[in-house]
Structure 1
């Protein structure tokens, strides 16, 4: 007997082929201020059906098209290639704004932006020109990096073999966020122990993307499986991303930084949901003698605590952004180490406030807030799911080891 969740996952794969072929030409954003303004406009629209999309596991096809057509997916492209070259503080604000409305949409673009930095760092000038232009036109990168079942997250078994005029990839990926909705799927595979990224066009023979993501949170990120069966890739679509970690670069910090911004956005959304519910629906406690739940001194104190902790987390995230900007401008052991350290510190704080805010939502709103039809649990489910990407217990250890024993944080995408 097929369960309801399996039916929904299966049905979600019925994406019209022209979904990838008739995207509107993307707007080109020119400034940091314009990027934030457009993000705010999109978030207002995305929020309207965010709960329904989550509840039904409905893929955000229309929303993804609007999102990439807005130009936001290209805002980190350097000005020399026609992009806005926004600061990482601006990128974090965009991610937070979108994630506060729908954290699945916030996560889908996460790997896209992270991979743009690898193109800047490791691609040839010809590849940079081609792929940056693709993104400015509105094309989306997906993700086929992680695998399940290996000893650690960094132990990749997907292999790439080089021929005279092409490469061949074989393997299986999971946690492939956004791959099903992308025009290009960056597949990370190893050759002689070194990772390469092959940008595989959607619908390439041998490339199969399965929407088998059944996680209880981040339900519409299509973070499922990618199967690669003798997939041929043109050599001009292969980027030696191992180079980014053979020298000081901010690539790892940037990947973590965007993760941290998603979590801060989840916290923003959960806190605002709490405020709205307490104002409109929550009842004062029987012993309080108050007319409204919003007058409860304990509730007021809790809201104050949440807002203060969110501000603190976002402040450290801003410090990390500034450090990343310095490391991008001038990459040295010192600037990259500072960016990695501050990003790790921000990740601890955004994880903690996301989980706290999602939990306090129910504590302050009362029993009725748990009703299934309200779907307020999506905030907790999303927070709990997304914050599992990189364990905070290790962040605390790494940061402590840096300050106590002068041991720099490791340089990889999970640090």
Structure 2
């Protein structure tokens, strides 16, 4: 496919949202993340227990400007660091893990655009992101043992048609555009940005996970959907050469896990202080003086701090990689390994924090009014996104045998 000269807007589609706030610095992004986390935390338990889809929350979230913070400064964005982006996501995740995951693929699509898009494509799609437009995703497919994508991109006159079926499409339900992984007749892959309300697009809200319940991670079907050439960005080519796409995708998942751990930890502190029961007390005057309980709180705090430190370190390594005009295989490998190391610990502490909260609160954790078990459920579902055992394998193979990890979105 050849690079296009300009990007034309969609005709006859849903009206573009009112222009979002423009964030201009890392500090402002962090401040707004803390504000919106406070807003989201208030009804998080009810949204999860009743599976109330967060339409209003997402409108405020995307209009806040936080969905445009990775847009480079030369295109009008804040161009925040990976360290800041991870902290923003972790802050939102501590309040509501689902709301933290919904924009994950939005940021991923913007990174694919940064690496492989033309200047005109960047100008157009970055502009949409800055205006508060939400990008979803239609990447994954199931039912194929050979792991080959079946969603086809076929020429049709001056444009293309897309047909296929996608699964686990987090964010697509709430999006105005759906970046979709497609393959042509040569099995070369592209990311096609498809307007949500195009003829032939069918979104099914069939996500039924017991955690991350309001991410809207359902299915998307495409039946001969028209796609303009200028909406198509190279995908396979971005992995054929060393790029930051893989570790960038993974650091967002690390941040979601860390945030869920923070939220569970804070709930545990509150519960012990306010609702400790005699069986926790074990004969001590106050449960807060129980030496075994204190050991658990201290142990979890240390692990949280360690996970936070590894995530920040991974962010700094990724920032250095993204700053390189021409990253090489070694620098990409170092970033991938650094993020994988953080992913190991953020996964473990997320599960540990949720489990310990559930244990301390007992059966009352499942009461609708409290719904404290959602932290463990959210962590258990999200940490299954990609197998942790392969992180250990990649880290060990790199350190022991100097084997560079493979380049893909799961490492």
Aligned partner of 2:335 in structure 1 is 339
Would you say 1:329 and 2:323 are equivalent positions?
Answer: yes
Aligned to 2:169: 176
How far apart, in 2, do the equivalents of 1:323 and 1:162 lie?
Answer: 40
Following TM superposition, where does structure 1 have runs of at least 4 consecutive aligned residues deviating by more than 6 angstroms? none
Change (3 A) 1:292 1:247: same
Deviation at 1:22, TM superposition (A): 6.5
The answer for unaligned runs of 5 or more in structure 1 is 1-18
| Shift of residue 286, structure 1, vs aligned partner | 7.2
1:8 maps to which residue? none
Match of 1:103 in 2: 97
> Match for residue 10 of structure 2?
none
1:156 equivalent in structure 2: 149
Give the structure 2 partner of residue 186 of structure 1: 179
Q: Is residue 112–residue 141 contact of structure 1 (8 Å, CA) maintained in 2?
A: yes
Aligned to 1:13: none
Q: Give the TM-score taking structure 1 as reference length.
A: 0.93
* Residue deviations 1:125-171 (CA, integer Å, cap 9, x gap): 1000000001101101001000122226x521111112341111110
Between stretches 287-296 and 166-175, larger displacement belongs to 287-296
1:376 aligns with one of 366, 372, 378: 372
Confirm whether residue 301 of structure 1 aligns to residue 295 of structure 2. Answer: yes
Match of residue 360 from structure 2: 364
243, 262, 265: which one aligns with 1:249: 243
Please list the CA deviations of residues 248-304 of structure 1 after superposition, one character each: whole Å capped at 9, or x if unmatched.
101011111101110001101111111111111121437733232222111111011
Unaligned 5+ residue runs, structure 2?
Answer: 1-12
In structure 2, distance between residues paired with 1:162 and 1:279: 64
**Contact 2:16–2:133 (8 Å) recurs in 1:** no
Do the aligned residues in 1 keep the contact of 2:281 with 2:290 (CA within 8 Å)?
A: no
Task: Give the match's secondary structure for 2:43.
Answer: helix
Q: Helix, strand or coil: the match of 2:168?
A: strand
Do the aligned residues in 1 keep the contact of 2:280 with 2:287 (CA within 8 Å)? no
* Alpha-carbon distance in structure 2 between the residues aligned to 1:80 and 1:53: 38
In structure 2, relative to structure 1, the CA distance for the partners of 1:283 and 1:406 (3 Å cut) is: same
